């Protein structure tokens, strides 16, 4: 489903005529965007992300993006289970580590279709790339061991050779194992389409969707299975909100120059 949606968005963005993408409607206020700051809440096919983006406007249609994102990575075989003894206690059987990802990226964004009025939608495509760092933190479980007519609880990491779901009472404290964290370097590249629908010139409300490729030096040991991965192909959809900073109105002289440039561009194409 996600793949079909992404393919449809990219096909629409490439098939629609370019001449409309460079139009400026004279009936709406003209703001020459200088810089943008926004927060993104993102759902990925392997988890979730939250990020901050700073956009530096190059011209009316283009900008450079600088961003930092933090993600939680999940394995497709994660299935939440409940303790056989405590129904309120849940865990993912066979999970070895929590894995988080910190990404720092640089990229560009180009506006293909500008807003015709305050209630319309601007469509842009974007891409970014940069280094990433996977943070792998061990998970400890409360393991039950029978002693006479009672049980003793021991906090241990999951061992597929000796532990079963009936042995696990629940998870130990999240903070246990912080001194055993492993850092795994990597890199990413992503691309997508941005639909900005805010009705105010200085406020940002947008939906984004796209694809991302991530690669690490080693496999990320999320589960006690043989198919932990080193390379990830991810689909994402996100909601962004933020504001325009240092916004300035376009001067009549600048607008005339932009219109003349676009007229020549449309004539050539």
**Cα angle for residues 231, 177, 82 (degrees, 5° grid):** 80
d(CA 111, CA 30): 15
Name the percent of the chain lying above pLDDT 70: 77
d(CA 186, CA 111): 30
144 HSE (CA, 13 A, CB side):
16
Distance between first and last Cα of the chain: 35
Q: Dump pLDDT digits (tens) for 230-262.
A: 999 999 999 999 998 876 665 556 656 666 666
Helix (H) or strand (E) holding 127: strand 122-138
Alpha helices (H) along the chain: 2-15, 18-21, 252-268
d(CA 161, CA 169): 18
- Token representation of residue 264: 């020549």
What pLDDT is stored for residue 249 in this prediction? 61
What pLDDT is stored for residue 267 in this prediction? 67
Higher pLDDT, 174 or 115: 174
What pLDDT is stored for residue 191 in this prediction? 97
The CATH number of 2-136+173-268, from 1.50.10.100, 3.40.30.10, 3.40.50.1110, 2.40.160.20, is: 2.40.160.20
What pLDDT is stored for residue 38 in this prediction? 96
């Amino acid at each position: 489903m996600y793949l079909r949606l992404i393919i449809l968005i990219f096909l629409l963005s490439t098939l629609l005529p370019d001449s409309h993408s460079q139009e400026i409607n004279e009936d709406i206020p003209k703001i020459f965007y200088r810089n943008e700051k926004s927060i993104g809440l993102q759902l990925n096919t392997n988890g979730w992300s939250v990020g901050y983006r700073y956009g530096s406007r190059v011209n009316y249609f283009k900008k450079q993006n600088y961003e930092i994102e933090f993600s939680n990575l999940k394995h497709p075989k994660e299935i939440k289970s409940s303790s056989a003894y405590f129904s309120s206690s849940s865990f993912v059987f066979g999970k070895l580590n929590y894995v988080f990802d910190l990404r720092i990226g640089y990229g560009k964004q180009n506006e293909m279709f500008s807003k015709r009025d305050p209630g319309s939608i601007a469509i842009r495509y974007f891409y970014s790339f940069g280094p990433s760092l996977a943070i792998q933190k061990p998970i400890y479980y409360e393991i039950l061991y029978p002693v006479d007519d009672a049980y003793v609880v021991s906090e241990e990491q999951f061992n597929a050779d000796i532990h079963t779901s009936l042995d696990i009472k629940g998870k130990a404290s999240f903070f246990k194992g912080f001194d055993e964290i492993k850092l795994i370097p990597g890199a990413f590249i992503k691309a997508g389409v941005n639909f900005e629908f805010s009705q105010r010139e200085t406020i940002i409300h947008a939906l984004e969707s796209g694809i991302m490729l991530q690669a690490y030096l080693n496999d990320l040991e999320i589960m006690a299975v043989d198919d932990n991965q080193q390379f990830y192909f991810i689909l994402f959809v996100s909601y962004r909100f933020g504001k325009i900073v240092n916004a300035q109105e376009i001067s009549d002289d600048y607008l005339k120059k932009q219109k003349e440039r676009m007229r020549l561009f449309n004539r050539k194409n």
